[in-house]
Structure 1
């Protein structure tokens, strides 16, 4: 991360993905506290922060197609409580909060323009799910020329073995998967 122009992108640490009674909930360990530390370090260092939420829109073809494969997404209606940011994260001053029907936060959204405007070259990813939107964002970001860093403690999935194998694959192909302390230290350079 030496002399990089970093950006923190948080995906789907919303009620739907963090409340244990939700059908979309990840195996929650320390993702919220790890993300808080990333946010606080980003604010201190004036690193831009984007929070992106998945929404379901029955009028949008992508939502309907995705829901054919994964019907649980229907709870993510834009007006539902499920898309609210986790309470421990909701009071932070994000540079952008953006809802999306897409698996990646960058595709067909104001995020791409924001990244270019801020001259970002490195995206730090946090959130859910490791095998879904985190993977999709890592691939999309790399294809657009951004270095991707994933703090392993700041991402999660519904299945631990899928989470672990996805992190191994992401590190091998698309991103630098690191422990949180190494990421935080690198952000200061």
Structure 2
């Protein structure tokens, strides 16, 4: 087997499935903690948010539904389970903590759905899959944080629920380049099409959906 990663996977994984006909944009877990240098969640992912906001503008112009997710725990963390036990920074997502608030530049619009969750996937323990199905959605565009965590978990679950899944690489981020790039590579190989912002914006420019 080749020692070169791309050559090793070539012809085995990486089939492109393309965009669907009725997409929805998911903006996963953009919160203040990732952008505040005083917080241990800080990841230097300002470029990812800027990209996601541009994709959001294109989605809204096309009438594509926009759904945001956040992580919120009861003040006692009783609903945090093993995820809360394992990942110490999740304490910033206790209800009312300012680090769990939307970051500057991102405020949900009145017609945008917000889904609160307690675990990595936007689908696990939420109404997201049934909501998308009821809306006639056949595909999702994923943006958000972090690539190796909630993006990857949501990507696998989106595919498992039967949605064509696209990950917008420029609009995702992580605290280190290595897990970011490794997970983009693996998601593109097995679960989703990983594409750039320009490709998604161009696709959205040709989509017209009733709101």
Deviates more, 1:89-98 or 1:158-167: 89-98
Where does residue 162 of structure 1 map in the other structure? 179
Counterparts of 1:84-123 in structure 2, within 5 Å, are 84-90=101-107, 92-123=109-140
DSSP 3-state at the match of 2:170: helix
Tell me how far apart the structure 2 counterparts of residues 119 and 90 of structure 1 sit (CA, whole Å).
25
Structure number having the greater helix percentage: 1
Query: Normalized against structure 1, the TM-score is what?
Result: 0.92
Going from structure 1 to structure 2, the CA distance change for 1:145 and 1:98 (only over 3 Å counts) comes to same
- The number of aligned residues is 187
1:152 touches 1:177 (CA, 8 Å); kept in 2? yes
Tell me how far apart the structure 1 counterparts of residues 128 and 155 of structure 2 sit (CA, whole Å).
14
CA RMSD of aligned residues (A): 1.6
Where does residue 90 of structure 2 map in the other structure? 73
Deviates more, 1:90-99 or 1:105-114: 90-99
Tell me how far apart the structure 1 counterparts of residues 26 and 90 of structure 2 sit (CA, whole Å).
21
Which of residues 48, 56, 69 in structure 1 aligns to 2:65? 48
Going from structure 1 to structure 2, the CA distance change for 1:91 and 1:50 (only over 3 Å counts) comes to closer
Cα deviation digits, residues 101-121 of structure 1 (max 9, x gap):
021111221222220111111
Q: CA deviation at 1:91?
A: 5.3
Q: Which entry has the higher C-alpha Rg, 1 or 2?
A: 2
Cα deviation digits, residues 83-137 of structure 1 (max 9, x gap):
2111201154452112110211112212222201111111001110000000000
Structure 2 alignment gaps of length 5 or more: 1-17, 207-211
* Corresponding position: 1:146 with 2:169: no
Where does residue 134 of structure 1 map in the other structure? 151
1:27 touches 1:160 (CA, 8 Å); kept in 2? no
Which of residues 33, 55, 58 in structure 2 aligns to 1:38? 55
Query: Normalized against structure 2, the TM-score is what?
Result: 0.83
Cα deviation digits, residues 132-163 of structure 1 (max 9, x gap):
00000000000000011111110000111110
Structure 1 alignment gaps of length 5 or more: none
* Runs of 4+ in structure 1 over 3 Å off: 91-94
DSSP 3-state at the match of 1:30: helix
